[in-house]
Amino acid sequence: MGGSTAAPFVTLRGEAELVRRAGDLIASAREEYLCGATDLVTWSAGTNAVFDGGRRPPLRPGPGGLAMRKVYTRRALGDPESERRLARIAASGAQVRISSAPLAREAMVIDGRVAILAGSEARGARTYTVVREPDVVEGIRSLLYATWEAAEDLAGCLGSADRPVLDEESRAVLGALAAGLTDEAAARRLGMSLRTYRRRVAALMADLGATSRFQAGVLSRRAG
């Protein structure tokens, strides 16, 4: 494959070398391109350069085509620019999901044959390790796929960037609601009047777009 050796693993230094030495490898994906990263700033610059060279095979979501699965963390959301880029990636046929867990190191598995792991950022240039040992690659793929499975589809996360800041008091109200207290008991516990408590609940339900308390419970848990 390209000019790379058949050694169990090779360490590359910096994205430039990654693209030069492993570009062919990345572009050779035929069945599955599985990729996990915290956000879009690291990692993707290099691989996008690979694909922008026109060497990416067509994405066919159907069986037999290349399944492109990407997992990012919530840090990939946040600003509109990132969200737009994510939406563009998703629109190009890739399946994009957002994991609620942190992904400290970027990882990538190609067709279950090769894994590429990012190293630490120490000493300026980031290192990348290319792994070919089948059992190790399959183990990494298994873990990355588990993270993928546990993550939520991008579509369900896109609008959530504007409501991560939840009032401290609102959290208390949600807690009381989730605890199954009656309005009266909840208001007493929170030290506010029944009227005010119900105002809070009404505001929360309006925020969630819920028309019943059951629905509000479902939606609130979905949003965290």
> Which residues of the shown chain bind its own copies in the complex (CB under 8 A)?
8-9, 11, 36, 99-105, 107, 115, 117-120, 127, 129, 131, 133-136, 138-151, 177-182, 210-222
Of the two residues 90 and 174, which places its CB atom closer to its own copies in the complex?
174
| Distance from the Cα of residue 157 to its chain's centroid | 10
* Secondary structure class of 150 (helix, strand, coil): helix
Q: Which does 93 bind (CB under 5 to 8 A by kind): its own copies, DNA, none?
A: none
Beta bridge partners of 9: 131
- Minimum CB separation of residue 126 from its own copies in Å reads 10
Task: Report which of 1, 22, 2 is spatially closest to residue 10, judged by C-alpha positions.
Answer: 22
CA angle 102, 104, 109 (to 5 degrees): 100
Of positions 30, 55, 163, 195, contacts DNA by CB under 7 A: 195
- Minimum CB separation of residue 68 from its own copies in Å reads 18
Contact in structure between 36 and 107 (CB atoms under 8 Å): yes
Of the two residues 5 and 215, which places its CB atom closer to its own copies in the complex?
215
Contact in structure between 110 and 32 (CB atoms under 8 Å): yes
Instruction: Please name the helix (run of DSSP H) or strand (run of DSSP E) that holds residue 32, with its range, or none.
Output: strand 32-37
Task: Report which of 84, 94, 145, 136 is spatially closest to residue 115, judged by C-alpha positions.
Answer: 136
Of positions 163, 193, 221, 224, contacts DNA by CB under 7 A: 193
Of positions 192, 207, 217, 219, contacts DNA by CB under 7 A: 192
Q: Which does 184 bind (CB under 5 to 8 A by kind): its own copies, DNA, none?
A: DNA
Residues that bind DNA (CB under 7 A): 182-184, 192-196, 198-199, 201-202, 205, 212-213
